[in-house]
Amino acid sequence: QKEVEQNSGPLSVPEGAIASLNCTYSDRGSQSFFWYRQYSGKSPELIMSIYSNGDKEDGRFTAQLNKASQYVSLLIRDSQPSDSATYLCAGGGNTPLVFGKGTRLSVIA
């Protein structure tokens, strides 16, 4: 059974702080990993994708992948109230994406 595990939260951070979201996965065959942001009642939107070990930065977001530890993380710098949402971690490759249950992030102004 392929699984992606996330802490459901809620994770509360003050505005301007760094939010750190973590995810582990069970399928060593997974080649690509994604972080999606989902607002209540809306469809997920892609924030970051990462395929290689190490860090990938895009604006305020940094994704980190460690395939040896089967660990993926997302850092959000200078968190804003508009970042408050549920963040879904997903992994896959040639197979359909497997999603974690999501971490609810609350950025407090």
Partner 1 sequence: GAVVSQHPSWVICKSGTSVKIECRSLDFQATTMFWYRQFPKQSLMLMATSNEGSKATYEQGVEKDKFLINHASLTLSTLTVTSAHPEDSSFYICSARDLRDYYGYTFGSGTRLTVV
Interacting residue ranges for partner 1, rule: CB under 8 A = 31-32, 34, 36, 41-46, 49, 51, 88, 90, 92-93, 96-102
In the complex, what is the shortest distance from the CB of residue 11 to partner 1, in angstroms, rounded to a whole number? Answer: 16
In the complex, what is the shortest distance from the CB of residue 96 to partner 1, in angstroms, rounded to a whole number? Answer: 5
Whose Cβ is closer to partner 1: residue 39's or residue 77's? Answer: 39
Residue whose tokens read 């994708």? 49
Whose Cβ is closer to partner 1: residue 16's or residue 39's? Answer: 39
